[in-house]
Amino acid sequence: MAPESQDQKVVTITETTTDTEKQSEQAPLHTTFTTRQRIFIVTMTALASFFSPLSGQIYFPAIPLLAQDYHTSVGKINLTITTYMILQGFAPTIMGSFGDTTGRRPAYIVTFALYFAANIGLATQKSYAALLVLRCLQSAGSSGTIALGFGVVADICTPAERGKYLGPVAAGVMLAPSFGPTIGGLLTHYLGWRSIFWFLSVISGVYLFFYILFMPETARKVVGDGSIVPRNWYSMSVVQYWKARQKSKSEIEADREAQKLDPKPKFRLPNPWDSIKVLREKDALVIILYISLTMTAFMSLMASMPSLYGEVYGFNSLQVGFCYIPFGISAGLAAILNGKLMDFNYRRWAKKLNMPLEKKRQTDLRDFPIEKVRLQPVFIFVPIAVATYLPIGWVLQERVNLAVPLILNFIGGFCVVACSNTLQSLLVDLFPDTPAIVMATSNLLRCWTAGAGAAAISPMLNAMGWGWCFFFWGLVILFALSFLWFEYMWGMRWREQRRLRMAKKKEELEQKGEK
């Protein structure tokens, strides 16, 4: 009965088309950034999102040399990977909250300054203890960029075109794990392991220089639709600083008041608990659980590739690195093509429900079934992904031609990345006011469960055998699909319950303020 009542609620949109069109005409602009400006912003954001996964994967080929140079075991060097992943999960809960409340620019500048300094330290340090500590700082500096990136996309894009702009950001996240080992292998082979960190120092320093000069602030609590001049100098790009000089203080304050921005915003310390509280929301919980389980299965496969491909095909670390490239290509394609698919499906549903398609104006999704719009393609991609996971263990076990597992990785990677990106977009749709916080929550569970999966895969392969091990992970992905069914059926109801609860809470706070 619950799904039927929601469908009846959705149909009412078609019965009030005229009223909806009138409301859309009065809806304020979502953003004043031009198309060229948004392309630049998304490009810079995609590049920033590339650093965290790149730093994690580029390090792998250097592990044997590090163990040799520090006269320690590979297990102790692997501990630096574990600590990196722990910080990779936790740091965004702080930076996501910081970015949503204080602004994207301060958050990005702090993260990249820390990352730049950590890489210089890693390139020059001479002890295992320093390596361990600086890897933690490197992770803390880079990992917040992913959650912040999704927040930037939410700042400048409406749901109608979010897929198109989210694609490049997601592509940056997914391409790095594929090309990172290859880059790391080449640098280590020809220039030594320290060259990895000098390389990261140079590219992050150049990025930070251009970011400080040219990247505008986008956080809606700071600049509204993008037309408001930020209060603080560190929140201004060169262009925004020039705009500030052209306006009087009274004009700036009038603009802020017109968009209902806080006239005297207070600095609030980042609170990791903000991210944990997201899991109390039913829709966020089921989506994040699915992402975490699926990415755990996926990372287990990625983590096992060096040992399995080395044993089956006799590959060295550099050759194994090249085997990641098919996945990298499919991940990039999935991020771009799936973004277009998301926008197409949104337009199709909007037309079906006679809902005006607004690309620049704020859109009220209260009566729009965004859960069904986003999840429909996922129910197609998941069975295909499962079909590639189930046989891959036996394919490797039987030493089939190399082309077969690479093709399976290509297809499975495309489907897994397409599903992950779609669900991350849905999370932003459901929590438009705190996108960086909700993405930090997703990142926290995803990193920690994926880290556990990567640690468990070797014992599982030994205990279960290659075939049954990956067959098990395929069943995990299939089982996790049940979480999305709950969201498809009841997500709209949960979203409305949250809206009413938040409205009541806001009303109570206003009443207390009056007293």
pLDDT in tens, 457-509: 878 888 898 899 999 999 999 999 999 999 999 999 999 999 898 888 877 77
Count of structural domains within the chain? 1
Expressed as residue numbers, the domain containing 335 is: 27-233+274-506
Helix (H, G, I), strand (E, B) or coil at 365: coil
Measure CA 510 to chain center: 34
* Lowest mean per-residue pLDDT among 115-119, 440-444, 475-479: 440-444
Contact between 331 and 414 (Cβ < 8 Å): yes
d(CA 83, CA 99): 24
Question: What pLDDT shows up at residue 109?
Answer: 94
- For 144, the token pair is 């917040």
Mean pLDDT (whole number) for 211-237:
84
Residue among 129, 37, 45, 55 at smallest CA distance from 91: 55
Residue among 34, 36, 136, 11 at smallest CA distance from 85: 136
Question: What pLDDT shows up at residue 10?
Answer: 43
pLDDT at 355 over 90: no
Question: What pLDDT shows up at residue 265?
Answer: 55
- For 421, the token pair is 């990106």
Domain contains 21? no
Domain contains 268? no
Question: What pLDDT shows up at residue 134?
Answer: 93
Question: What pLDDT shows up at residue 175?
Answer: 74
Question: What pLDDT shows up at residue 260?
Answer: 58
Domain contains 198? yes
Residue among 435, 135, 429, 438 at smallest CA distance from 285: 438
> DSSP assignment of 104-129, as one string?
HHHHHHHHHHHHHHHHHHHHH--SHH
Question: What pLDDT shows up at residue 18?
Answer: 45
Question: What pLDDT shows up at residue 13?
Answer: 39
Q: Is 251 exposed, middle or buried (0-12, 13-18, 19+ CB in 10 A)?
A: exposed
pLDDT at 121 over 90: yes
Q: For residue 69, what are the CA distances in angstroms to 81, 103, 180, 279?
A: 17, 42, 22, 44
Instruction: Kindly state the helix (H) or strand (E) to which residue 207 belongs, with its residue range.
Output: helix 194-214
d(CA 268, CA 15): 45
Question: What pLDDT shows up at residue 471?
Answer: 93
* Lowest mean per-residue pLDDT among 150-154, 248-252, 410-414: 248-252
d(CA 195, CA 177): 19
Domain contains 325? yes
Domain contains 194? yes
**Predicted TM-score (pTM) of this structure:** 0.78
Structure letter (DSSP) for residue 361: B
Domain contains 260? no
Residue among 175, 166, 184, 169 at smallest CA distance from 329: 175
CATH number of residue 428's parent domain: 1.20.1250.20
Domain contains 132? yes
Domain contains 158? yes
Mean pLDDT (whole number) for 317-339:
81
**Cross-strand partners of 29:** 361
The answer for residues whose C-beta is within 8 angstroms of residue 496's C-beta and 6 or more apart is 366
d(CA 71, CA 444): 33
d(CA 24, CA 18): 10
